[in-house]
C-alpha cells in the first residue's frame, strides 16, 4: 500500500470507528492502555506550565492527561480525523479545559508549528498508522524544544514463545471478530493487525529515534512486548 492509499484508508477507518473507539480500546487491551499511559506520564514527569503537542490525539484522553499534569500549560491535540476530534472536543468542553487545550485537524508528517515550540511531543497508538515513520519522528523532533522530549506509546511485537503465538492469534484472528461483534466493524479492525506487520519492534523503533537525532533514548516494553513506550530527548543545541 503506497503512502497516499494508506493515508486514505486509515482516515476512513478512524472516521468510521470514532463513536466506539474508546469502548473498543478498553476491550482490545483489557483496559491495560490506561495503565500504560499512567506509567508513561510518570516517566515524562510533566511540570506545571510545560507545553505539549499530542499527535494522532484521537478522542483526546492523553491530551487531557497532559493538560491536567501541566496545570495551565498550553496543550495542543492534532489528528486528521474530524470525527475523532469532535468526540475529543466534547470531552475537553465537559471538563472545562477549552481555554487550555486546542484541537487541530492536521497531518502528523507536516506539522503547522514553528521549530522548538513544545516541551513534549507525544504520539499514542498512532505512529504505526502514518505512511512515513521517520518523517513523523523528524517533525516531532523539529517542533520540540532543545532539552524537550518526544514520546511514543504504541503496540509492539512480543518476542518470546509461547506468548508470541498466542498474542498473534488474538491480534490477527480474534481482534477483528471483536470489532464485528461489538461495533459491527470487521474490516476496520482488520487494519490493526495489518498495521503492526510492518511496524518496527522495540529495538528497531529505538534505533529510529536515534537515527533522527534523539538522545538518551529509553524503551519500555509492556506485558511481554504487546505494547511499548519510547522516550527520546532533543539535544540542547537543537540538533
Q: Is the pTM of this model over 0.75?
A: yes
Q: Which residues contact 139 (CB under 8 A, 6 or more apart)?
A: 108, 109, 110, 111
Residue 34: CB atoms within 10 Å: 13
For residue range 179-235, what is the model confidence (pLDDT) as tens digits?
554 554 535 545 566 767 788 999 999 999 999 999 999 999 998 888 899 999 999
Phi/psi-derived region of residue 110, left when phi > 0, alpha when psi is between -120 and 50, beta in every other case:
beta
Closest CA to 81 of 176, 9, 154, 132: 9
Three-state secondary-structure class, residue 38: helix
Residue 198 grid coordinates: 510492518
pLDDT at 181: 45
Give the separation between CA 19 and CA 27, rounded to whole angstroms. Answer: 14
For residue range 15-45, what is the model confidence (pLDDT) as tens digits?
655 555 555 455 455 457 889 999 999 999 9
Amino acid at each position: 500500500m503506497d503512502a497516499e492509499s494508506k493515508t486514505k484508508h486509515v482516515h476512513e477507518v478512524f472516521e468510521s470507528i470514532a463513536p466506539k473507539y474508546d469502548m473498543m480500546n478498553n476491550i482490545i487491551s483489557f483496559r491495560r492502555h490506561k495503565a500504560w499511559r499512567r506509567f508513561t506520564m510518570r516517566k515524562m514527569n510533566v511540570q506545571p506550565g510545560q507545553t505539549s503537542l499530542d499527535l494522532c490525539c484521537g478522542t483526546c484522553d492523553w491530551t487531557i492527561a497532559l493538560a491536567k499534569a501541566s496545570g495551565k500549560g498550553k496543550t495542543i491535540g492534532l489528528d486528521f480525523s474530524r470525527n475523532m476530534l469532535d468526540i475529543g472536543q466534547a470531552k475537553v468542553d465537559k471538563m472545562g479545559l477549552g481555554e487550555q487545550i486546542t484541537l487541530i485537524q492536521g497531518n502528523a508528517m507536516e506539522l503547522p508549528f514553528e521549530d522548538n515550540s513544545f516541551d513534549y511531543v507525544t504520539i499514542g497508538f498512532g505512529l504505526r498508522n502514518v505512511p512515513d515513520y521517520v518523517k513523523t519522528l523528524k517533525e516531532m523532533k523539529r517542533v520540540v524544544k532543545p532539552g524537550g522530549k518526544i514520546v511514543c506509546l504504541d503496540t509492539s511485537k512480543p518476542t518470546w514463545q509461547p506468548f508470541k503465538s498466542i498474542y498473534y492469534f488474538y491480534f490477527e484472528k480474534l481482534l477483528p471478530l471483536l470489532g464485528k461483534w461489538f461495533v459491527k466493524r470487521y474490516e476496520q479492525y482488520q487494519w490493526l493487525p495489518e498495521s503492526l506487520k510492518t511496524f518496527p519492534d522495540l529495538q528497531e523503533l529505538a534505533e529510529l529515534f536515534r537515527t533522527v537525532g534523539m538522545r538518551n533514548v529509553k524503551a519500555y516494553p509492556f506485558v511481554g512486548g504487546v505494547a511499548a513506550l519510547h522516550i527520546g530527548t532533543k539535544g540542547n543545541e537543537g540538533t
